[in-house]
Amino acid sequence: MSLPISRTKIASIIAVAFAGGILFASSMDWTDRLFAQGGAAPKPRQEEVKTLADASNAFVSISEHITPAVVSIQAERDARARTNRRSPQQQQVPPGFEEFFRQFENPQQQPRTQESSGSGFVVSRDGYILTNNHVVEGADRVSVAMQDRRVYDAKIIGRDPTTDVAVLKIDAKNLTAVTFGDDEKVRIGEWVLAIGNPLGLDFTVTAGIVSAKGRPLNNLQRTQYDISDFIQTDAAINPGNSGGPLVNARGEVVGINTAIASQTGFYAGYGFAIPITLAKQVMDDLIEHGEVRRAVIGVSIGEVTPEDAAVAGLKTIAGVKVQAYSGDDSPALKAGIEPGDVLTRIDGKAVDRVGQMQRIVRARKPGDVVEVEAMRYGTRKTFSVKLAAAPKEATVVAEAPAAPASTLTPVSSRLGISVEPVSAEMVQAVRLPEQYRGVRVAEIEPGSPAEERLFVGDVIVQVLPKREKVSTPAELQAALRNVKAGDYVSLLVYRPVRNGGGTTAVVNLRAAADR
C-alpha cells in the first residue's frame, strides 16, 4: 500500500535535487558554458581593441593627409568635332567607360558637348597633376575641382597612351601635394587605400590589400609598345576613380588607379593601378620634353611558357621570349639577338616577365647601351645592345584570307594543325614578302598543343633550330616526320598585319600522343 506524499514534501525534494544538480554541474565546469550561451558575449581583450583602434586611426590619418591633394576632373568634348573620332571598340577604353564613348556614335542624338569625369592628384605645390590618359583623351576643355570646392581650368601638358598617364597643370600656388612611395617595395597582402571620385561621389576613400603585382591587362593594350605591369588591389574602384591615387600604409602614393576587372563595368572585387615609379618617369619626360622619350630594344616579346623554357634549356619558367624584330634597323638584330632567344637579364637585373623587362628598358634613354643575357637552345649568350627610340605607331594583326578548303593538309596529329599552300590571293591581300611564303595554318584542333599558340592565318616559315625552310605542306610533314610524343617542336611563324607587312614569332610546342 503506497503512502500519500504531500505537496510540501514534493517541493522540498525538487529543490534539493535542483541544488544538487547545480553543485554537480559546477564541479564539471558546465555552468560557465550554460550561462555563456544565454548571457552577454565576452569582451575583447584590451590589447586587441587597441590594435584595431590603431589601424582605424591610421586609415583616418592617411585619408586626412592625402584627400586635400586629390582632385575631381571634368573633361568636356565638343560633339561637332567627333565625326572622325574612333569608336569605343577602336579606343579600347577601360571597363566602365564604354557607355560614355558610345554616345558619340550617333551625332544626330548628341548634345553639343559631352562630359566625362575622373580623378587625379597634385604632385607639386605649383599645380602639376597626375591622372590617366583615358580620362582626358580627346578633351577640348578640362577643369579641376579641389576638396575645398575651388575650381580651376587645367592645361594638358602631355599624354602617353602606352602607359595611360597624363599630366595636367593648373594656375595655383602652395597646394597640398602627395608624397611618392616606391612600388617596388610594395608587398602582396599589405593594406592600401584608393581615393577618388567614383560614380559622382566626390573624394571617396576605400580600403583593401594589394592582391598581386606585375599583372598584365592585354585587353587594354593598343600597341606592342604598351607597358602592362599593374598593381592589383581589392580596394573598391569604380568609374570615376580612374586617375586617383593608390596609397600605402605610410601615406605614400604607390600607384594610379586605372581599371577594374568586371563584366558589368562596375566594381567586382579587383582593381588595377599603374606603378608610381613608371608614372613618374613618364611625367618627368612630359614636363621636361613635352613628349615621352621611350627606349626600345627593337623586338616584340612574349611570356615564357613551359615549352619555351624547356627548348631554351632553362631550369625555371622565367624570362621573356623574343618573337620578332621591329624592323631592319632593330638594335637587337644588330646586336645578334635572334627570334626564339629567351632574355633572362637586362642591365644587370633579372627578368622574370614581360612587364618587368619593359620597365627596366623604360628606365633608360635612347642611345644607352645595356648588357643583355639570353638562353638560346641550351646555350647562354651575352649581347651589348644600343637602345633606340620607339616608333610613333605600331601595326595591328589581321587575319589573312583562306585558301579553298580542298587544299587542307593535316600535319602531325601530335601538334593538331592542318595547313595549306599560301594562295596568290593571300600574297596580294597582305603583301606577303617572298621570304615568308611558307604554309598557312588553316585549322587547329581543339585541345591540341597548337591551340592558343598558333592561330588560323599564321604562316609557318621554318622549323627551328635547324632553320629548315618550309614552302609546301609536304616539306612541313617531312620536317616533322620523326617527332615523337613529348618532343619539343620550335616553329618560326609569320603573322600578317593590315596594310601589308607583318610580325614574326617563335612558337614552341610539345608534341602530344597520337589521338
Annotated catalytic residues are 134, 164, 242
Residues 6+ apart with CB under 8 A from 394: 223, 224, 225
The alpha carbon of 441 is separated from its chain's Cα centroid by a whole number of angstroms, namely 30
End-to-end CA distance of the chain: 93
Q: Would you give the DSSP letter of residue 104?
A: G
Query: Please, which residues bridge with residue 421 across strands?
Result: 439
Overall size of the chain counted in residues: 515
Measured CA to CA in angstroms, residue 383 lies from 298, 369, 380 at distances of 14, 10, 10
Take residue 71 and report the three cell numbers written for it.
Answer: 582632385
Report the alpha-carbon distance of residue 202 to residue 206 in Å, rounded.
12
Residue 67, classed as helix, strand or coil, is helix
Helix (H) or strand (E) holding 253: strand 253-260
Closest CA to 166 of 138, 125, 145: 138
Residues 6+ apart with CB under 8 A from 49: none
Take residue 295 and report the three cell numbers written for it.
Answer: 627606349
Residue at 424: amino acid letter: A
CB 492 within 8 A of CB 464: yes
Report the alpha-carbon distance of residue 130 to residue 115 in Å, rounded.
19
Any idea which residue has 572622325 for its cell? 84
Longest Cα separation, the chain: 122
Report the alpha-carbon distance of residue 276 to residue 254 in Å, rounded.
5
Residue at 41: amino acid letter: A
Measured CA to CA in angstroms, residue 288 lies from 37, 284, 494 at distances of 69, 6, 40
Report the alpha-carbon distance of residue 406 to residue 421 in Å, rounded.
11
Task: Write down the H helix ranges in 29-78.
Answer: 31-38, 46-66
Take residue 356 and report the three cell numbers written for it.
Answer: 618587368
Residue 126, classed as helix, strand or coil, is coil
Task: Label each residue of 170-236 as H, E or C.
Answer: ECCCCCCCCCECCHHHCCCCCEEEEEECHHHCCCEEEEEEEEEEEECCHHHCCCCCCCCCEEEECCC
Any idea which residue has 608587398 for its cell? 187
Take residue 75 and report the three cell numbers written for it.
Answer: 573633361
